[in-house]
């Protein structure tokens, strides 16, 4: 069985976009792969995090992943900072990756913004830590959004250079599992912008902990144009808001936009939105309720994380110890 590794940052409540684009795929991969899922708090602090908020958000993200169906008994769910191997291997990779490689990373340029001098050095070596996350487990399959493709190529470059420099065949090549078009859930206020946790308007997104009333209100207020639901997908091309709502409907029902239009084409957006709201409430309310239940019992949540990090360390520690031996560290 192929080993999957993936990570998600504990930066606020995930949106419907995160759910359809990433988390739901993780849940499905559990049927066919050995999965290791990590809440990447080491990555989170590459930009400033209030300590109390980071702690709370790490627990929330853990609860949400469990509520969505990640199975912590059959697979592994843990916090990155709890397994020392990540930072240890990342240091070695800091010394393998070349500055020139990191300088080409578009995410650093985006995240650092105009004032690059003020960015943390952690933000610059972020991709090296991500490579370490994966290679510490010899994982070969990594589900990510398209925006992480460049980081996975770098992770392969690092593995190859390590293998070449030390004359070994130690770190395997990893294959990205790029998650499909369901990942492109757009803002409810502007169909040309991605639905985002960081959008200033909460009306622009569905959060995984929104209650039924909030979901209904947000969908009712979601931007549309005055035309009815089209009957043909070609008509969606010029109508980003309609395309987005139809796309969400298709993703939730695991069909495609053409089938959605077959059922709803020609109707007004009022009734389509009502149907969409029902779907969302049916699928998301149980997640919100289970998340709340899990968060009320912090001791159990911490116990699940402890068990996860122990099992993660049992895999990663020997691999990282071997990497250290190959580098020439005496150990002991
Ligand atoms: N950088 C990833 C993101 O922002 C999160 C991440 C960290 C990750 N480590 C990883 C994803 C390892 C896959 C594998 O989405």
DSSP labels, 146-162: GGGHHHHHHHHHHHHHH
Distance, CA 266 to ligand 1 centroid (Å)?
41
Q: Which of 17, 25, 43 to mutate to test the pocket of ligand 1 (most atoms within 8 A of CB)?
A: 43
Is the Cβ atom of 133 under 6 angstroms away from ligand 1? yes
pTM over the 0.85 mark: yes
Instruction: HSE, CB side, 13 Å, CA atoms: give it for residue 187.
Output: 15
Residue written as token pair 């969302």: 280
Is the Cβ atom of 43 under 6 angstroms away from ligand 1? yes
Closest CA to 69 of 9, 19, 137, 33: 19
66: tokens are: 């469990």
CA 182: distance to chain centroid?
13
**Residue 218 annotated to the active site:** no
**Residue 74 annotated to the active site:** no
Confidence of residue 198 (pLDDT cuts 50, 70, 90): confident
N-to-C CA span, the chain:
33
Confidence of residue 1 (pLDDT cuts 50, 70, 90): confident
**Residue 48 backbone dihedrals phi, psi, to 5 degrees:** -60, 135
Smallest CA separation from ligand 1 atom 8, residue: 7
The DSSP bridge pattern shows strands 76-79 and 175-178 to be unpaired
Please tell me which of 7-16, 51-60, 141-150 the model is most confident about, judged by mean pLDDT: 51-60
Answer whether 178's CB lies under 8 Å from 145's CB: yes
183 pLDDT higher than 80: no
Confidence of residue 310 (pLDDT cuts 50, 70, 90): very high
202 pLDDT higher than 70: yes
Mean pLDDT value of segment 163-184? 89
Answer whether 174's CB lies under 8 Å from 134's CB: yes
Q: Which of 5, 128, 146, 148 to mutate to test the pocket of ligand 1 (most atoms within 8 A of CB)?
A: 148
Confidence of residue 269 (pLDDT cuts 50, 70, 90): very high
67: tokens are: 């509520």
SS3 of 274-328: the string is HHHHHHHHHHHHHHHHHHHHHHHCHHHHHHHHHHHHHHHHHHHHHHHHHHHHHHC
Distance, CA 37 to ligand 1 centroid (Å)?
10
Is the Cβ atom of 281 under 6 angstroms away from ligand 1? no
Q: What integer pLDDT is reported at residue 268 of this predicted model?
A: 93
Q: Which atom of ligand 1 is nearest the CA belonging to 129?
A: 9
CA 290: distance to chain centroid?
20
Q: What integer pLDDT is reported at residue 181 of this predicted model?
A: 62
What is the share, in percent, of the chain residues with pLDDT greater than 70? Answer: 99
Alpha-carbon distances of 294 from 27, 164, 249, rounded to whole Å: 18, 46, 28
Q: What integer pLDDT is reported at residue 178 of this predicted model?
A: 87
Rounded Cα gap, residues 71 and 65, in angstroms:
9
Is the Cβ atom of 78 under 6 angstroms away from ligand 1? no
Is the Cβ atom of 179 under 6 angstroms away from ligand 1? no
Residues 244-265: pLDDT tens digits? 999 999 999 999 999 999 999 9
State the chain's mean pLDDT as an integer: 96
Q: Which of 130, 150, 197 to mutate to test the pocket of ligand 1 (most atoms within 8 A of CB)?
A: 130
Write down the catalytic residue from 74, 111, 114, 273: 111
**Residue 197 annotated to the active site:** yes
């Amino acid at each position: 069985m192929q080993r999957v590794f993936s990570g998600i940052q504990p930066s606020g409540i995930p949106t419907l976009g995160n759910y359809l684009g990433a988390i739901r795929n993780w849940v499905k991969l559990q049927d066919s792969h050995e999965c290791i899922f990590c809440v990447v708090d080491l990555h989170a602090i590459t930009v400033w995090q209030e300590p109390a908020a980071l702690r709370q958000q790490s627990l929330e993200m853990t609860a949400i992943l469990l509520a969505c169906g990640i199975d912590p008994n059959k697979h592994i769910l843990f916090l990155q900072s709890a397994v020392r191997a990540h930072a240890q291997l990342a240091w070695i990779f800091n010394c393998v990756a070349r500055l020139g490689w990191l300088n080409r990373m578009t995410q650093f340029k985006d995240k650092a913004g105009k004032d690059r001098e003020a960015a943390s050095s952690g933000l610059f070596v972020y991709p090296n830590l991500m490579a370490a996350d994966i290679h510490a487990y010899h994982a070969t399959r990594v589900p990510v959004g398209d925006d992480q493709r460049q980081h996975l190529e770098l992770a392969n470059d690092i593995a190859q250079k390590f293998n070449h420099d030390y004359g070994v065949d130690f770190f395997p090549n990893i294959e990205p599992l790029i998650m499909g078009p369901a990942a492109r859930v757009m803002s409810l206020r502007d169909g040309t912008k991605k639905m985002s946790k960081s959008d200033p308007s909460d009306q622009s997104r569905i959060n995984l902990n929104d209650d039924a009333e909030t979901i209904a209100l947000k969908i009712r207020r979601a931007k549309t144009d005055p035309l009815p639901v089209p009957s043909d997908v070609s008509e969606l091309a010029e109508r980003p808001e309609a395309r987005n709502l139809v796309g969400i409907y298709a993703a939730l029902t695991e069909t495609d936009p053409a089938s959605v239009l077959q059922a709803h084409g020609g109707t007004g957006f009022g009734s389509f939105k009502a149907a969409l709201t029902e779907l969302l409430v049916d699928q998301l309310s149980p997640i919100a309720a289970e998340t709340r239940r899990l968060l009320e019992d912090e001791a159990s949540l911490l116990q699940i994380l402890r068990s996860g990090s122990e099992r993660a360390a049992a895999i990663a520690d020997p691999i990282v110890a071997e990497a250290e031996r190959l580098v020439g560290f005496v150990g002991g």
